[in-house]
Amino acid sequence: MAKKMRGLLVRLWFTAQMAGHGVLANPLRSALTILGVAIGVASVVSLMGIGEGARQAVVSQFRSMGTNVIVVKVQDPKVEFAPEDAAQLVERVEGLEMATPVVHTKGLMRWRRARGNADIIGVNYEFPEIRDHALMAGHFFTKWHVKQRSPVAVLGYNIGVGLLGGRNPVGQTFAINGRTYRIVGVLSEKGEGNAEGIDNKILVPYTTAQSIAEKKTVEEIWGKAGSPQEADLAVVQLGRIFRRQLGLDQKAPTPAAPGEQEGEPGMPTAEGKPGMPAPSGPDKNELPVLSTSEDVITITNLNQLVDEANTANRVMTLLLGGIAAVSLLVGGLGIMNIMLVAVTERTSEIGVRRALGAKQSDLLVQFLLEALYLSAVGSIAGVAAGIWGINLFAQYGFETAISFQSIEIATGVALGAGLLFGVYPAVSASAVPPVEALRR
């Protein structure tokens, strides 16, 4: 048994050497075949790397806004929220752990001799927990600051770093619309384009932001659920609440008329009067966005946005890889053509080998190994070229990422194509009768 195995290994080693000689005997032809495979592999690796980079960038932007976050936003200024609605939603919606009213406004910021318009966000003291945003320096403003409309501010990372050239600005003061504000904290960096550009914004208590904007209502409420499942449930319940509030749910009792006290006190109606009945429970068929001719209020689960963006970009990446894989097919056909030419040119060599005792299986393995050598070298060169292409695109500002999955797929397809398209020439070579081969 050992002698038989040793003889098999010797035959395989000799066959592998013959395959190597066959590839090196025609260097130009082999190089062109390798080039075809390399171009296919490089196309798949580079294009899928660009797609994967875009996917990661989009998903990162959504995740930077926090996990299990629910955004309730009015699309019609006639139906804006009262600040107290945020606390009432936490009490009424199962799974909603905290919420903050949100005011977006702008103000003229003056820092020493510099002036400029600043984007301002008004929130409550629960913002860091809701949006999963840590502080780099100082602390966030407190519940007392919100209640007293205190002129305090927490700066976005870029603003905080830029004021004193990287030194800690906590305790310094600046002015917004002529009113002096004290800096109590600086948010940690989220990165360019992430978290809705929070690095370039100023956070103040929403009560203070209302004074800047000269309004008593808020246009958004941000909530935080305890888990993804609770976030999904909270979206359904919020949809029912606001449908009933606005009279869009035909199955629900209508809000009480002014002067009546039907239902339990709670969220205000569209007219701002109390008396909206509480929801009877979640309905899985409810849509997360209120549907009218134009959406009055939108309720968005950011977890769902992350999943949708992830799925959409994965599909795009696969499409790019599929388009590039066509060149791999062309490379495989090139291998088959070259091997068929080799069989025709080396008929006499095949006859001599058969006459000297080579078996049909030896010839089959030899030509399969030649195809495998060509595709393997082409794969290595293609992976190197693909990684170089990814780095080149990154230098020009594209979001890229080296996808090891694309490397595995491209290499596997290239090797598989080499073997697949090498089968027919190998079978043709091994099937040539020795006498016929020697005669040629």
The answer to whether residues 321 and 252 belong to one domain is no
| Rounded average pLDDT over 124-136 | 95
Residues 54 and 82 in one domain: no
Is residue 352 situated within a structural domain? yes
Q: Which of 256, 278, 302 is the last residue of a domain?
A: 302
Angle (CA) 342-344-350 rounded to 5° is 85
Residue-wise pLDDT tens digits, 82-127: 999 999 999 999 999 999 999 999 999 999 889 999 999 999 999 9
Alpha helices in 172-227, H assignment, sequence order: 206-213
* 127 within 8 A of 100, measured Cβ to Cβ: yes
147 shares its domain with 261: yes
Amino acid of residue 93? V
In this structure, what token pair is assigned to residue 403? 């996808």
Q: Say if residue 99 is in the same domain as residue 241.
A: yes
- Produce one character per residue of 343-372: b if its CB has 16 or more CB atoms within 10 Å, e if not: beebbebbbebbeeebeeebbbbbbbbbbb
* pLDDT at residue 167, rounded to an integer: 92
| Residues 332, 333, 337: CA angle, nearest 5 degrees | 120
Segments forming the whole domain that contains residue 131: 69-302
Asked if residue 6 belongs to a domain, the reply is no
Q: Which of 17-26, 37-46, 95-104, 351-360 has the lowest mean pLDDT?
A: 351-360
The pTM (predicted TM-score) of the whole model is: 0.70
- How far, in Å, CA of 232 to CA of 235, rounded? 5
Query: How confident is the model at residue 382, as a pLDDT?
Result: 94
Q: Is the pLDDT of residue 437 over 70?
A: no
Of 243, 275, 302, the position where a domain reaches its end is: 302
What pLDDT sits at residue 171? 95
290 and 245 Cβ atoms separated by less than 8 Å: no
Task: Extract the tokens encoding 58.
Answer: 């989009």
Q: Over the chain, what is the mean pLDDT?
A: 84
Q: What's the confidence (pLDDT) of residue 430? A: 76
Average pLDDT over residues 137-157: 96
* Among 279, 302, 325, residue at a domain's last position: 302
Residue type, 96: L
pLDDT tier at 425, thresholds 50, 70, 90: confident
Which token pair is 207? Answer: 């009560």
Q: Which has the higher per-residue pLDDT, 261 or 312? A: 312
User: Mind listing the pLDDT tens digit for each residue in 189-202?
Assistant: 998 888 889 999 99
128 and 206 co-located in one domain: yes
Examine residue 5 and state whether it is found in any structural domain, yes or no: no
For residues 371 and 259, state if they share a domain: no
**Do 317 and 423 share a domain, yes or no?**
yes
Say yes or no: 140 and 165 in one domain: yes
Domain total in the chain = 2
Mean pLDDT is lowest, of 188-202, 211-225, 354-368, for 354-368
Specify whether 41 is located in the same domain as 144.
Answer: no
103 φψ region: left (φ > 0), alpha (ψ -120 to 50), beta (else)? beta
Same domain, 26 and 148: no
Q: Are residues 185 and 83 in the same domain?
A: yes
Q: Is residue 227 part of a domain?
A: yes
Q: Supply the DSSP string of 299-359, one letter for each residue.
A: EEEHHHHHHHHHHHHHHHHHHHHHHHHHHHHHHHHHHHHHHHHHHHHTHHHHHHHHHTT--
218 — phi, psi (to 5°)?
-130, 150
* pLDDT, tens digit, 9 for 90 and up, residues 401-415: 988 888 998 899 889
Q: How confident is the model at residue 248 (pLDDT cuts 50, 70, 90)?
A: low
Do 278 and 349 belong together in one domain? no
The answer to whether position 254 is within a domain reads yes
> Is 210 part of a structural domain of the chain?
yes
Confidence (pLDDT) at 133: 95
